[in-house]
Chain A
């Protein structure tokens, strides 16, 4: 069925005379112009703490992402330098894109000794879809989504991050850890 557009828009005489409506539009745009032209002044003069213009000079200035933001997944690193991961492989299975590869290593597990840890842990960010399933699947609070999204490379092979590149101290991840605890507690795991 053909779709007809109703072009009989009834305009008042005021709107039909163009000029007042055009001036209204130009008043709006020129107001934005002057607002943005002088809007940085109070911030630079120190009378206001926040900048009025919300446009960000991106590479020089960074925006603080909200804590729920899913950037690249990273491995949590305990205070003694070992990964919190026990190489159970759940994240590897949960990953819908198959970008995680784990090779475990084991030891006898005596006092003050790690029983199991990943010998090889790689994530290929060229394949990763940033879904956060690995974080959700992890029983050991070892893998977390960070707020880093700047992982563009000139070579795809460099997108394959090794364990050493992935390890991030637990202290840096505290906020995200608390966030995930709250969030997954709601879902009754």
Chain B
């Protein structure tokens, strides 16, 4: 009983540490540095402590200090309560999604089964979608309560865009569910031990569509019409400053990690190394005893999982700094006229193939 509680607490702490503590701040630096490298610039490198710049990593500290010490401004005529809780509503779902996202397989440590997921729900995938769509409320409330035309426009765009692409996202996932026959994310991950049964090979179209839809869900370029700088100042968070703005910012980066994690679990073999089943990996470290080999394999597979996540984050950044923004009507066209029929066709083809194979 106590052991279970401690294990769960350790897992929660690990997830919080790696998302809020590591990915969210470091990604601000990665975003600036990677865009700089892609455009033949140098990027952030001026913040220094005693002459050391550490490749500009101190900018993270500078940014955090700035966020915390800036004036927390609430505009005239704004709804103070909603204006304050909107960023929280936006940030919490982004963090909550990780409750069902597994970051490793099952291991036996000291005769105890350890499942590297905080809550192994049997409707895990549905939970992810349900929670992710909750974030829309945060954005819409933020836009509405700011008493600003730009904010409201951004909020409306956010709402319409997220609704359109959630449909595609949900329908795309049905193909994956048909192939693996489960909604439990740990089982989907475990089913991809064989390299050729990775979701990427079984659902190539689904992979592309899911990736597109999830970038649209995250409102990053090329789907950043809700916060288009050149049109709407900053969209729904125009009137936010200080740590509230930072929360929106953090939500975006944590959602990037979520997308990376979901892509990894659904399409890229989760924590598995290609052509290297867990049993083989365990047998290599047999000399360390049952617990020792399990710990080593656990660390390796957590590393592999987050390596894949980092790859997808890198990929999202490449997309963000390569493509121009879609026009609003183009976003809607792509969502309703191209991706939706394609995802339906994907379901049909998947069903026919499964029927033919049985």
Asked whether A and B interact, the reply is: yes
Residues of B within 8 A of A55 (CB): 40-42
Q: Does B208 sit at the interface, judged by CB under 8 A? A: yes
Contact A29–B40 (Cβ < 8 Å) = no
Q: How close is B316's CB to chain A, nearest CB, in angstroms?
A: 11
Interface set of A (CB-CB < 8 Å, partner B): 19, 22, 25-26, 28-30, 32-33, 36-37, 53-55, 57
Given A33-B34, A55-B41, 13 more contacts at CB 8 Å? A22-B319, A25-B322, A28-B322, A29-B321, A30-B318, A32-B38, A32-B39, A32-B40, A33-B318, A36-B37, A54-B40, A55-B40, A55-B42
21 contacts between A and B (CB under 8 A): A22-B319, A22-B322, A22-B323, A25-B323, A26-B318, A28-B322, A29-B318, A29-B321, A30-B318, A32-B37, A32-B39, A32-B40, A33-B37, A33-B38, A33-B318, A36-B38, A37-B37, A53-B40, A55-B40, A55-B41, A55-B42
Interface set of B (CB-CB < 8 Å, partner A): 34, 37-42, 45, 208, 318-319, 321-323
Residues of B within 8 A of A29 (CB): 38, 318, 321-322
Bound CA–CA A127/B34 (angstroms): 41
Secondary structure at the A interface, as helix, strand, loop or mixed, is: helix
Q: Which of A22, A30, A36 contacts B40 (CB 8 A)?
A: A36
Q: How close is A134's CB to chain B, nearest CB, in angstroms?
A: 37
Bound CA–CA A33/B45 (angstroms): 17
Nearest B-chain residue to A54, judged by Cβ: B40
Candidate in B37, B41, B321 with the most chain A CB atoms within 10 angstroms: B37
Residues of A within 8 A of B40 (CB): 32, 36, 53-55
Nearest B-chain residue to A34, judged by Cβ: B37
Residues of B within 8 A of A22 (CB): 319, 322-323
Q: How close is A51's CB to chain B, nearest CB, in angstroms?
A: 12
Given A29-B321, A33-B318: A57 in contact with B42 (beta carbons within 8 A): yes
Bound CA–CA A30/B40 (angstroms): 11
Q: How close is B166's CB to chain A, nearest CB, in angstroms?
A: 21
